[in-house]
Amino acid sequence: MTTLSPENSLSARLSASFILVKRKPPIDKTEWDGFFDENGQLAKSRDFICVNILERGLHPFVRTEAWKFLTGYYSWQSSQDERLTVDSTRRKNYEALCQMYEKIQPLLENLHRNFTETRNNIAYDIQKLYDKDPLGNVLIDKKKLEKILLLSYVCNTQAEYQQGFHEMVMLFQLMVEHDHETFWLFQFFLQKTEHSCVINIGVGKNLDMLNNLISFLDPVFAKHLKGRGAGVVQSLFPWFCLCFQRAFKSFDDVWRLWEVLLTGKPCRNFQVLVAYSLLQMVREQVLKESMAGDDILLACNSLVDLDADELISAACLVYAELIQKDQTALPKSTALSRRSMSIPVDLGLGLSTQGLKRMSLAG
């Protein structure tokens, strides 16, 4: 097994400070276009681009196209002509799904006992969305949003509709121009993030990893949470269900975090480190006031209007702290996923020496 050196841990801390201290501008259209050769193929490596996104983010004018690479909508090896073909195919496939849905809708209403209830839930959730900007301009098309959510519910057997999906898909609709792009980007986003926001697939795993992480890095806080704060961590599931959407001050901040999650940098399941960082924001108050469960949740729910760069930087520092910890301190009895990992301490986060080395840009 590979042993992580102090130099690698320092590299992680430098990458974290790079986000806030150097504040290099996000990747803009000119720089993004420079990543491609004359055939429209990426001349820069996937790792180079992903590390840049981790440390700098994307300009809004670049985000739509970049996300198509990050989610797998486009292949990283594709040419411009191939991407035009892919986009055309995805549009036709979406239209075919819409036609199929129109045909089977009566059957679903009569034979699928959950369909009508789910359709009503989607309609109710969408009506609650505030769809205008401060100037009164309409931001989203609620009818199209409802159609996309229903189609996703019918077609995606892994991720049935859950409250909060309407808010997530709304952000995809705001980002792109066409319905087929909204639909497919949302599907690919769920796959790329390993369905980590889906209650019956990834949320429980996230909460288990978060519990393990707290116990490993902060035993004092863990003891309090298991005592007076019993059940608190399990009650933080909305963080994961919404991918922390309600914690930020702007949609740009939400997109900023989500695109980092899509890069897989600095590790898989980075959302768990983000949740740990949020908990650390209330830690001192919780321990000082010896808060119990409901009060702790109230403090956690008060974490709003956050800056994405600050939170990402804090989570990167947690990553550095985690890999620097004495690996022999982990009890053998602790249930951790170590499959296909290159370091002893993992906690299911997908940490690796190789991934860490790629965190910091040269120059």
pLDDT digits (tens, 9 = 90+) for 179-192: 999 999 999 999 99
pLDDT value at 18 more than 80 = no
Residue-level pLDDT at 190: 94
List the structure tokens of 229.
């704060």
The pTM of the full predicted model, rounded to 2 decimals, is 0.86
Query: How far apart are the C-alpha atoms of 34 and 44, rounded to whole Å?
Result: 9
79, burial (CB in 10 Å: exposed 0-12, middle 13-18, buried 19+): middle
Number of other CB atoms surrounding residue 235 within 10 Å: 16
Residue-level pLDDT at 156: 87
Residue-level pLDDT at 333: 43
Peptide bond into 344 cis (omega under 30): no
Residue-level pLDDT at 121: 95
Residue-level pLDDT at 132: 75
- Average pLDDT of the residues in 205-223: 95
pLDDT value at 56 more than 50 = yes
Residue-level pLDDT at 3: 41
pLDDT tens sequence across 307-362: 999 999 999 999 988 888 745 455 544 444 433 223 334 566 655 433 333 333 22
Residue-level pLDDT at 74: 98
pLDDT tens sequence across 66-110: 999 999 999 999 999 999 999 999 999 999 999 999 999 999 988
Domains and CATH numbers, the chain: 6-15+23-191 (no CATH), 196-324 (1.10.472.80)
Task: Give the range with max mean pLDDT: 48-62, 148-162, 340-354.
Answer: 48-62
Beta bridge partners of 27: 58
- Average pLDDT of the residues in 119-128: 94
Query: How far apart are the C-alpha atoms of 359 and 323, rounded to whole Å?
Result: 13
pLDDT tens sequence across 101-114: 999 999 998 887 78
Peptide bond into 266 cis (omega under 30): yes
Q: Which residue has the tokens 């969305």?
A: 129
Residue-level pLDDT at 14: 58
Q: Quote the percentage of the chain above a pLDDT of 90.
A: 71
Looking at residue 138, what DSSP letter applies? Answer: B
Residue-level pLDDT at 20: 66
- R_g of the chain computed on alpha carbons: 21
In three-state secondary structure terms, 89 is helix
The gap between the terminal CA atoms of the chain, to the nearest Å, is 30
Residue-level pLDDT at 336: 41
Res. 5 pLDDT band, cuts 50 70 90: very low
Q: Which residue has the tokens 């997908």?
A: 350
Is 8:323 a contact under the CB 8 Å cutoff?
yes
Burial call 208-233: b when 16+ CB within 10 Å, e when fewer: bbbbbbbbbbbeebbebbeebbeebb
Phi-psi region of 305 (alpha: psi -120 to 50; beta: other; left: phi over 0): left
Query: How far apart are the C-alpha atoms of 56 and 313, rounded to whole Å?
Result: 11
Which residues lie below 8 Å from residue 269, measured CB to CB, with a gap of 6+? 194, 196, 206, 209, 348, 349, 350
